[in-house]
Amino acid sequence: MTVDTINRWMTLTANVGVLIGIVVLVVEINQNTQAMNVASRDESIAHSLSFFQQAMDSQVIARAEHKRFSGLELDDFERSQLIRYQYYNFRIFENIYTQYQQGLFSNDEWAKYRRILKMLFNNNEIALYMWNRTPDHWSDDFRMEIADLLPKT
């Protein structure tokens, strides 16, 4: 091999190495951007949930859940606390769904959450009541995902 041939091969190898480096850099930037978006959304959701949680009383919610499971009648305040509690839970579910869409949860993991949501709609009239009264509070994607989990009437 001549020196010129060796130089050409070395130049080609260096160029391929640079190209591979650029591709790796683009992938890393994309992953970093996605992670930053998720962290930003999580922080925003956490602030929203924290504010929302201030109007919730865990003792009232616990007592109201016990009454609901026992078939006892709830007073207006207990009912409003359970509605607020379900709204809070569904905000968390929506955030998890968004992360699932971004590939941060596997299909199997999201399937577990779907089963929980379906159970809530079928066994918890408060969850269904809350959902039916807040249709415009949820992202379109989340509403479409939930649509087939709702009890058939």
Of the candidates 141, 33, 148, the residue with the CA atom closest to the CA atom of residue 95: 141
Does pLDDT of 141 surpass 80? yes
pLDDT for residue 38: 66
pLDDT for residue 153: 67
Q: Which residues of 71-81 are buried (b: 16+ CB within 10 A; e: fewer)?
A: eeebeeebbbb
Tokens representing residue 97 in the block: 């769904």
Does pLDDT of 56 surpass 80? yes
pLDDT of 6-48, one tens digit each? Answer: 888 888 888 888 888 888 888 888 877 777 776 776 677 676 7
pLDDT for residue 126: 96
Mean pLDDT of the chain: 89
Decide which of 9 and 153 is more confident. Answer: 9
Q: Please count the residues of the chain.
A: 153
pLDDT for residue 47: 66
pLDDT of 91-110, one tens digit each? Answer: 999 999 999 998 989 999 99
Does pLDDT of 1 surpass 90? no
